[in-house]
Amino acid sequence: MDSWALLSVSDKTGLVELARHLRDEQGLKLLATASTARHLMDNGFEVATVESLTGFGEILDGRVKTLHPLIYGGLLASSKLDHQAQRETMGAPDIRVVVVNLYPFERRWQEGLTGAELIEEIDIGGVSLIRAAAKNNERVAVLVDPGQYEPYMDGLHDEAARRRLAVEAFRHVAYYDAIIAEALSEPGEQPDLLALAGRRQGTLRYGENPHQTGAFYAFAPRVGFADAQLLQGKALSFNNYADADTAVKLARDLSGPAAVVVKHQTPSSTAFGETILDAYQRAHDADPVSIFGGVVAVNRPVDRALAAKLTEIFLEVVVAPAVEPDAAAILAKKKNLRVLVMSFEPHPSLDFKGILGGVLVQPADAIQKPLGAWRHVAGPAADLEALSRDLDLAWKTVARVKSNAIVVVKDGVTLGIGGGQTNRIDAARQALDRAGDKARGAIVASDGFFPFGDVLKLCGERGVAVVVEPGGSLRDQESIDEANEAGITLIMTDERHFRH
């Protein structure tokens, strides 16, 4: 009895070559849905249509094409004698290969299609054909992407090969369904069942350390780093991505021309400037040691003057919303410098952290309470509007520093950053020691509350003028008392920003 290949594709790339292989090398007859059959017939193939087999045409505007017992009897019949007897009795074809491309739901969603039009891009019959073929991989090979055609034609068609194709097919369908669920869900939703749709955008040279493998999986819709353009340099490493992510999130939060320097996923310096060149120079000078080999993000286009400065030292990555053409020519002289151009527009996202046996999920952290909602709780009254630029820089920077975190700011630049400490007083000493005498009259921000009055006492000894912290400790009064005694303006935001 004849054996068949069933073809139903929206993407006709490579179809003619594959059909020729199926016919000439595997001796299969061709069965296809209407548009696929027409394409093959136009290229000289003899093709039976699904409609001619089942006796039923498409219905419901094409929503139903292949959902018929004769198709699935031919697809799902195993090697068991009674299965084959039933298939033969009902007249179902012996289908040995299935080639299906699903409706391009992801691309159409990315293009902005919504509502009823997007719903029509949800494939039903194609998914069912793929699942049936993959389930019966003992007898059936399933191909879901034109990229599989050439390896399939060049490779073995044994049971092990069919099983590998089945695994790829189930992943393909799972990704497709997860994309649909994501598109129809509310942003930031945390459902009972978590289905992540990630497409590998590249294999990294290694992970956080050389003995670990690494890869970047982009989510849909393509935003952020998934939509970035690598203007020059080698592909980003695992650590480059992690550092650049911190830098971009902080740079986009800052409203004036600003530069952010990041090492090991924590800011080493940030600064505002009258121009983007000024901002970068001030961030550089705030910590000229840590910037070496660091990641720099600027929230304005890179111009010729900034490009010249950026090439004076060794940097791993520069990230910007745009690079002017003459600036790109200057940056190109540093062949190993990675230059990434991407949108800094915020978008709803979730944070994931893998732990043994699962993953922790939360909405990405963002500043919720504006300066106008903060509380002055101790010390002399201060003109917060006049200090708003420094307060903004201090609070937004400390939110991106590894906890426990303390940031010292004055005149639109970080003077000292202490982070990643196991207690807050050590973080404060680290930041204030780096600031030195410049801490006098400065603003200090803390990502978490003070459990004791020790940090305020230290700030008083260093001449700090304003301290911003979340508040909420059972011992807030200790800090309030220390602030009053030292003449420090103490402000509570009622919002913490731990970053572990």
What is the rounded CA–CA span in Å between residue 448 and residue 471?
A: 8
CA angle 381-386-388, nearest 5°?
A: 100
Residue 402's SS3 state is coil
Measured in whole angstroms, how far is the alpha carbon of residue 85 from the centre of its chain? 51
Whether 68 is catalytic is no
Q: How far apart are CA 309 and CA 342, in angstroms?
A: 21
d(CA 20, CA 91): 26
Instruction: Judge residue 274's burial from the number of C-beta atoms within 10 Å of its C-beta, 0-12 exposed, 13-18 middle, 19 or more buried.
Output: exposed
Which residues is 320 bridged to in the sheet? 341
**Contact at 8 Å (CB) between 435 and 416?**
yes
CB 63 within 8 A of CB 103: no
β-bridge partners, 448: none
Catalytic residue among 29, 83, 157, 264: 264
Whether 143 and 99 have beta carbons less than 8 Å apart is answered as yes
Is 410 annotated in the active site? no
DSSP tag of 59: B
SS3 content of the chain, % helix, strand, coil (to 5): 40, 20, 40
Task: Pick the catalytic residue from 135, 157, 309, 376.
Answer: 135
Is residue 495 within 8 A of residue 383, CB to CB? The reply is no
Cite the beta strand spans of 282-395 per DSSP E: 295-298, 317-320, 338-341, 350-355, 358-363, 375-378
Catalytically active residues are: 135, 264
